[in-house]
Amino acid sequence: MRIIKDDRPPVIADVAKLAGVSVPTVSRVLTGNIPVSEERRKRVLAAIEELQYHPSPLARALKSGQRTMIAIFAGSTETYGYAYTIAGIEEAAKAAGYSIVISAVKSADPSDVQAALELALQQQLAGVIVLDFDPSAAEVLRQLPGTVPTVAASGFPTGQAGFPYAFIDEYAGGREATEHLLKLGHHTVYHLGLFPLSQFSGRYQGWKDALTDAGIAPPPVLEASREALSGYDQGLRIAADPDITAVFCSNDGLAIAALRALLEKGVRVPQDVSIVGWDNQPFSQFTWPALTTVAPDFKGLGHRAFGLLQQSLSAPEDVSDSTAVPRLLERESTAQANIRRRHVPSQTP
């Protein structure tokens, strides 16, 4: 088959037509991310040569052998931890001369994961970074072709075998937050958490072990979702229960929502209830009282993940996992436990 040339530059569809293959097949040959049969590869390369198809950065990168695109797979681009980790990756990548493409994964459903992979793998990738914060990321790691250098970033205690990981030591952070509250004289610490996801997190396990090692049976988790309203609702429950004097929250959003509910009910923070958050979101230092929180340094996580990917590209056999311990920032929302049973205002209709 021959194509009569006109005045316009050739496009990828022209290459596909001349080679007798689909457009996705041409993309796969260009990127090298997904294997293509040798016979089809030769046909595509011959069509590229005949049409002199070299207008795009992708084709120029193919010719030079240089790849400068990094794909990031994330279950969300809005939630604080995801957004700031992505920002850290982008910052480090830009400084090193790389660009990024972000592929949001709607769910852990294999079809959603495949759709996200197809979109990103059309690019000529130098490598991939997966934010392994949720089940959708775990499925991405299972489905990724082994031909693409891949690194994961995570707060879970362990990662999937076969990938270098940049970890946040959530266990240490959760344990320190809980021990901080126990040292203030609180008889126990409740956990306001993203249940059931929280039970697989290091921060949950650190909370649980700190209590157990202190000889305290962990109380039931105050179950919440990512919606701030769930934190507010649990705050109302805390306000009505004088036995709850200390709460460690899965994130700052839940902590601040609970704080609002407590203040509305006349329950004083920290005089009656001490609250610790997680994330160190920018607004947490400006709440009233200022929120004591755990700072995981998500931007630093992004920097470390990109650093591991750079190592993987140059010397994959020498790459080791990277782990950083979060910092507890003591502000105004925690204080010595009130030895007297705190007063809960009566609820009159």
| Cβ-contact 246, 190 below 8 angstroms | yes
Residue 54: per-residue pLDDT: 61
CATH level 3 topology of 12-64: 434 Repressor (Amino-terminal Domain) (1.10.260)
If you average pLDDT over residues 97-105, what whole number do you get? 91
pLDDT of amino acid 62: 47
348, with CB counted inside 10 A (0-12, 13-18, 19+), is exposed
- 342 touches 296 (CB < 8 A): no
Highest average pLDDT, of 1-5, 43-47, 309-313, comes from 309-313
Mean pLDDT of 8-13: 74
Tell me the per-residue pLDDT of 149-181, one tens digit each, with 9 for 90 and over.
Answer: 999 999 888 888 889 999 999 999 999 999 999
Instruction: Name the average pLDDT for the chain.
Output: 87
Average pLDDT over residues 337-345: 58
CB-count exposure of residue 87 (10 Å: 0-12, 13-18, 19+):
middle
Does residue 6 surpass a pLDDT of 80?
Answer: no
Domain layout of the chain by residue ranges: 12-64, 69-169+297-326, 170-295
With b for 16 or more beta-carbon neighbours within 10 A and e for fewer, the 203-212 pattern comes to: bbbbbbebbe
pLDDT at 347: 44
Decide which of 292 and 340 is more confident. Answer: 292
Query: 12-64 and 170-295 share one CATH topology?
Result: no
% residues pLDDT > 90 (the chain): 56
- Per-residue pLDDT, 303: 96
Kindly report, residue by residue over 253-275, the tens digit of the pLDDT.
999 999 999 999 999 999 999 99
Determine what percent of the chain is predicted with pLDDT higher than 70. Answer: 89
CATH architecture of the domain with residue range 170-295: 3-Layer(aba) Sandwich (3.40)
Q: What is the pLDDT of residue 346?
A: 43
What is the structure's pLDDT at 55? 45
Instruction: Please tell me the distance from the alpha carbon of residue 3 to that of residue 39, in angstroms, as a whole number.
Output: 21
| Closest to 153 (Cα-Cα) out of 142, 162, 161, 164 | 164
The CATH homologous superfamily for domain 69-169+297-326 is Response regulator (3.40.50.2300)
